[in-house]
Structure 1
Amino acid sequence: MIRAIIVDDDELCRTVISDLLKEVDGFECVANFGNALDAFKFLNENEVDVVFLDVEMPKMGGMELLRNLQISPLIVMITSHDEFALESYEYDVTDFLKKPLSASRFLKTIEKIKKLLVESAEVKKSDSYIFIKSESKLIQIKLEDILWIEALGNYMRIHTENEKHTVLSTMKEIESKLPSSEFIRIQRSFIVRVDKILSIEDNYVVMKNKEIHIGKAYKEELNNRLNFL
């Protein structure tokens, strides 16, 4: 069962989404909230697969909630204003729905969520390695050998000390397969292995033969993770 929550100060919108989810097989709305503060507390204590999140709310808006989240559920942003779409994708949201909600458009989002959560056979997780699917075979990659991972459209490229591997996947999907204690997202399109960082200069992470720009939304989390003296 795919666990979802709804966060929107508009009670009618929450009701519409809840009713639509009841018509979809495999989804369960485990909670809905009229403000982001209560949702933030819930997400810190409970696991969910997807959050339907309004952009504009009193006290704490949807963007602020995303900036403070330590977990990575799929996020579907909801708003009446198109101008928020570009900013929301800085956080690698799964989809963006405009009010008033269209049932047909909502169902397309549902199918996208199912694909991301259910069809995730390309990357298999273990404690010290992952398997990636390459044509008709599975290739084992040790986590300790990974330098960084970058998004290339619908594909992800995994860079190791000596090789590059390209797999059909998403940033959210592959991030969920990696131990958060060893890897960190530093911008929309890059995940790096923390112990492979050679230095940080201005707004760039320096890796072996690579400098990667640090996204504004990810800089604070990176600073918190580094072992400063």
Structure 2
Amino acid sequence: MMLNCVIIEDERLARQKLQLYVNDHKHLTLVASFVSAEEFIKKANNVEYDLLLLDIALPNMDGITLAGMLPKHCRVVFTTAFAEHAVEAFNLNATDYLLKPFDFERFSKAIEKVNSFTNPPDTVITDNKKISIKEGKKIHRIDIDEILYIKGLKEYVVWHTAKGQLITLHSLSHLCDYLGPLNFIQTHRSYIVNVQKADVIEYGFIHVGTEQIPIGRSYREKVKECFKLELE
């Protein structure tokens, strides 16, 4: 799948290197290159893009701030000389974090990861309330009611079902959008729970069978609203 790519990098040599990498990659098309976040913001409405290669140490507005303003569907790969921003970057659901200097092989691995998230998900819900989940070369057909909860592990997720576990390459945030209308709720940045399978709800946790699922601070209001509870 071809991805329209935008570079935001204020250092000329670093920007030229990225341009060469993008032009040499079979899945990328370079549609624009900017030297600052402000320049990108001014022209973003006129540019169709799937991926941002985004430096963090930009003048005036840094890359972390800009990433927080982007629409959810946009994929971001940070390019930076500073390792200390990695945790903050992944908290913003960055697809990857390239630490300068990086070579074309490392760059290509990041693009492979982007492609795995950008392509249509390996899950299909049918009219009879079954879900098809692709795990490697196998496709599992599972009743939605059998899904207990889903745990995110970086670019992978673990599906905990009544019949066992499945591990697939998915974005947890994408699955939340996909499964939300089917009575699933995200309780923590790493967990999605089938609402019908919640046995006990208390301050900080939801119990699903013998499992104790955390409720993140930023998700407490949604959980309270979902279950019509006062979690004191």
- Residue matched to 1:178: 178
* Pairs aligned (count): 221
- Residue matched to 2:10: 9
SS where residue 105 of structure 1 aligns?
A: helix
The change in CA–CA distance for 1:224 and 1:172 in structure 2 (over 3 A counts) is: closer
Say whether 1:124 aligns with 2:123: yes
In 2, Cα distance between the equivalents of 1:22 and 1:52?
Answer: 13
Equivalent residues of 2:147, 2:159 under 8 A apart = yes
- Residue matched to 2:26: 25
Of stretches 19-28 and 170-179 in structure 1, the one that deviates more from structure 2 is 170-179
Aligned residue identity for 2:91: E
Query: Whose Rg is larger?
Result: 2
Equivalent residues of 1:72, 1:172 under 8 A apart = no
The change in CA–CA distance for 1:61 and 1:163 in structure 2 (over 3 A counts) is: farther
In 2, Cα distance between the equivalents of 1:38 and 1:180?
Answer: 36
Matches for 1:65-80 after TM superposition, within 5 Å:
65-80=66-81
In 2, Cα distance between the equivalents of 1:137 and 1:69?
Answer: 35
Question: Between the two proteins, what is the percent identity of the paired residues?
Answer: 26
Question: By how many angstroms is 1:17 displaced?
Answer: 1.3
Describe the superposition over 1:154-188 as per-residue Cα deviations: whole angstroms up to 9, x where unpaired: 7422245x444312314369638825666665544
Equivalent residues of 2:98, 2:107 under 8 A apart = yes
C-alpha root-mean-square deviation of aligned residues, in Å?
4.3
Equivalent residues of 2:117, 2:171 under 8 A apart = no
Equivalent residues of 1:8, 1:14 under 8 A apart = yes
Structure 1 unaligned segments of length 5 or more: list them.
none
- Residue matched to 2:158: 157
In 2, Cα distance between the equivalents of 1:96 and 1:72?
Answer: 18
Question: By how many angstroms is 1:84 displaced?
Answer: 1.6
Equivalent residues of 2:131, 2:141 under 8 A apart = yes
TM-score between the two structures when normalised by the length of structure 1: 0.67
Equivalent residues of 1:157, 1:164 under 8 A apart = no
- Residue matched to 1:88: 89
Describe the superposition over 1:71-98 as per-residue Cα deviations: whole angstroms up to 9, x where unpaired: 1433211111122223323334332212
